[in-house]
Amino acid sequence: MKNYKLVISYDGNNFHGFQKQPKDFTVQEALEAALDKLLTSYQLTYAGRTDTGVHAKQQVLSITTSDLLKDSFKESLNALVGKHIYIKKVTLANKNFHPRHDAKQRTYKYFVNTPSNYEAYNLGYSYFVKKELSIVELNLIAKLFIGKNNFTNYSKLRTDQNPLREIALSKWTKNSQYFIYTITGNSFLHNMVRSIVGVQLAAFDGKLEGKSISTSLKIPLEQRFKHVAPSEGLYLWNIKY
């Protein structure tokens, strides 16, 4: 048995998330439909699930198989998997490599458009807000999330999940087209990044106070925040091993 590492990207608009579901078409389903035509048997694992509409610049998978992958495997898989997924790299990995358990850090980026830089073709790939934003003010809010904090109010937690996560980077930048939020952490909870973005934009809009955000990260409030940014602006950007 050999273990292969795959790096892929995909357009989340065309899938109901990454993980296979009984009724909806997902990235995993598209991948497995293609792999079934190329391999006798295999086991597919992945670094993390993304929700419906969330994109990936770098998602990492592993395929454990007794089949010997030919040099043309990447090209063949790309030909079968459909135009909304792209296999960027296929390499032989250590037999014990696990894309989720071995990940040290994950980085997500969230793209926001404002009236001064919005284009219609950005629909589905960024979030349009109807007022102008301030990098300085947003970064005052963003830095509140840095460090080890309790993200109970920022996710849909399962009862067995630890809500503590450590954030190494939380920062807004701006280019000619987008306001871009970058967040790097050891791991993330379900809906956590979108909730963090939504809460920041709500605070910028005066709907939340910075003090309530700081408090919630140490002593969770009774209810999770309802401010969740839409999925189309979110990208799984990088995974560090």
Residue 13 binned pLDDT confidence (cut-offs 50, 70, 90):
very high
**Tell me, what's the pLDDT at 32?**
98
**Tell me, what's the pLDDT at 222?**
82
Is the pLDDT assigned to residue 144 strictly greater than 80?
A: yes
**Tell me, what's the pLDDT at 157?**
78
Q: Which CATH number fits domain 2-93: 3.40.50.1220, 3.20.20.10, 3.30.470.20, 3.30.70.580?
A: 3.30.70.580
Is the pLDDT assigned to residue 125 strictly greater than 80?
A: yes
Phi and psi torsions of 185, nearest 5°: -150, 170
Nearest residue to 239 via CA among 109, 152, 70: 109
Q: Which amino acid is at 223?
A: Q
The set of catalytic residues is: 51
- Enter the tokens of residue 81: 């998997």
What is the Cα 93 distance to its own chain's centre?
23
**Which residues make Cβ contacts (< 8 Å) with residue 206, sequence separation at least 6?**
none
Is the pLDDT assigned to residue 175 strictly greater than 90?
A: yes
**Tell me, what's the pLDDT at 9?**
99
pTM for this predicted structure? 0.95
Q: Which amino acid is at 77?
A: L
Parallel/antiparallel/unpaired status of strands 55-65 and 234-240: parallel
Domain ranges of the chain: 2-93, 105-240
Q: What is the arithmetic mean of pLDDT over 182-195?
A: 97
Domain 2-93 and domain 105-240 have a common topology: yes
3-state DSSP assignment of residue 131: coil
**Tell me, what's the pLDDT at 223?**
84
Residue 158 binned pLDDT confidence (cut-offs 50, 70, 90):
confident
Neighbours of 99 (CB within 10 A): 21
Is the pLDDT assigned to residue 141 strictly greater than 80?
A: yes
3-state DSSP assignment of residue 116: coil
**Tell me, what's the pLDDT at 210?**
85
Is the pLDDT assigned to residue 68 strictly greater than 80?
A: yes
**Tell me, what's the pLDDT at 187?**
95
Mean pLDDT rounded to a whole number for the chain: 96
Report the Cα–Cα distance between both ends of the chain, in Å, rounded: 22
Is the pLDDT assigned to residue 36 strictly greater than 80?
A: yes
Beta bridge partners of 61: 6, 46
Parallel/antiparallel/unpaired status of strands 147-150 and 164-174: antiparallel
Q: What is the arithmetic mean of pLDDT over 149-153?
A: 96
Q: What is the arithmetic mean of pLDDT over 66-75?
A: 95
Is the pLDDT assigned to residue 160 strictly greater than 90?
A: no
CATH code for the part of the protein at 105-240: 3.30.70.660
Residue 67 binned pLDDT confidence (cut-offs 50, 70, 90):
very high
Residue 53 binned pLDDT confidence (cut-offs 50, 70, 90):
very high
Q: What is the arithmetic mean of pLDDT over 198-212?
A: 94
